[in-house]
Amino acid sequence: MSDPGPAQLDLIRRYSRAMREMQADALRVRSAKPGIARSAGDRATRQAAKRFTKLHRERPGGSSAPTPAS
């Protein structure tokens, strides 16, 4: 197999950096203490999820039984 070219090396570097950033973000979220104020973006995400779940349950012809994710 031939050696990777410059574009492939760049892709490998960017992938590695993205994985490190994602891991750091995940660790930061896990270490958040209860009772600490959340950002407005977190609140908006939770509200959107509630609306989506409500719409899904109220859908005509839909099952009234809760889904495992509910």
DSSP letters of the chain? -PPP-HHHHHHHHHHHHHHHHHHHHHHHHHTPPTTPPPPHHHHHHHHHHHHHHHHHHHSTT---SPPTT-
Q: What is the rounded average pLDDT of the residues 49-58?
A: 75
pLDDT in tens, 3-34: 889 999 999 999 999 999 999 988 888 776 66
Range scoring the smallest mean pLDDT among 7-11, 50-54, 62-66? 62-66
Check residues 67 and 41 and name the one with the higher pLDDT.
41
Q: What mean pLDDT is reported for the chain? A: 77
The ranges assigned to domains in the chain are: 1-30
